[in-house]
Amino acid sequence: MTIRMLLTLLLVSSPALADEIQVAVAANFTAPAKVISANFEKETGHKVELSFGATGKFYAQIKNGAPFEVLLAADSDTPAKLEQEGAAIPGSRFTYAIGQLVLWSSKPGVVDPAGDVLKKNSFNHLAIADPKLAPYGAAAMETLTALGLLEAVQSKFVQAENIAQTHQFVASGNAELGFVALSQIIKDGQIVDGSAWTVPTQLHKPIRQDALLLNKGKDKAAVHAWLNYLKGEKAQSVMRSFGYHF
């Protein structure tokens, strides 16, 4: 069989090799995950099923037998814990992105570039993701603690289950401002609406987001291909456009 005939056979048979991948995705990574997965699907023919939510909730679901094959967490601790507890393939964990926390209002002029709006404390509601479930919420708590403002503003918290709900609270006006992920309010490197303060990274621990190959995806070539794609330049270019770094 010639090389040309072999390539033709592979191209013709490739749809039959297409598979479906189950991925649990931290809510902050919703937008880039959709773009990256759509590009991957076009290139490979595989189907990527994305589920979005709080990393803490995904941990509980995975421990209870959820059919996820990959976890894209909003932290590094949860994947490490799952790996240690035998729910994932040892050595498969890697950092796919480092996130950025921002204080955001859907209205222009509310949040100043230095974040002094927090010190003025003239707002009624501050949205924050549950710090026990959402790493961005934990980073927000660390930020307020570092600024010495936690006690002053804590009574104004509107607590959300995850960072997606936090964004919704602010976008709808139910909270004047809130701590969200930069990826939720940025497009092509520009904040799309409202006003924001990019929280200095020294005010909280780095939001290192780790990926993990779970046991259910161990023997699926499509899963390994998707994780390799996530490490590549095409995927990283998408992530950069949403404000992530590496």
Domain borders along the chain are: 17-98+207-241, 100-203
pLDDT tens by residue, 28-44: 999 999 999 999 999 99
| CATH for the 100-203 domain, from 3.40.50.300, 3.40.190.10, 3.20.20.70, 3.40.710.10 | 3.40.190.10
Residue 101 has pLDDT above 80, yes or no: yes
What pLDDT shows up at residue 14? 47
What pLDDT shows up at residue 3? 54
Residue 103's CB is within 10 A of a number of other CB atoms, namely 23
> What mean pLDDT comes out for the span 187-204?
91
Domains 17-98+207-241 and 100-203 share a fold: yes
Which CATH superfamily is 17-98+207-241 part of?
Periplasmic binding protein-like II (3.40.190.10)
Task: Report the Cα 27 to chain-centroid distance in Å.
Answer: 5
Residues 6+ positions from 16 with CB-CB distance below 8 Å? none
What pLDDT shows up at residue 6? 45
pLDDT band at residue 231 under the 50/70/90 scheme: very high
pLDDT band at residue 12 under the 50/70/90 scheme: very low
pLDDT band at residue 191 under the 50/70/90 scheme: confident
pLDDT band at residue 193 under the 50/70/90 scheme: confident
Residue 88 has pLDDT above 70, yes or no: yes
Tokens of 208: 């290192």
- Compute the mean pLDDT over every residue in the chain, rounded to the nearest whole number: 93
Among 16-20, 38-42, 106-110, 240-244, where is mean pLDDT lowest?
A: 16-20
What pLDDT shows up at residue 2? 58
> What mean pLDDT comes out for the span 214-218?
97
Q: What percent of the chain has pLDDT over 70?
A: 93
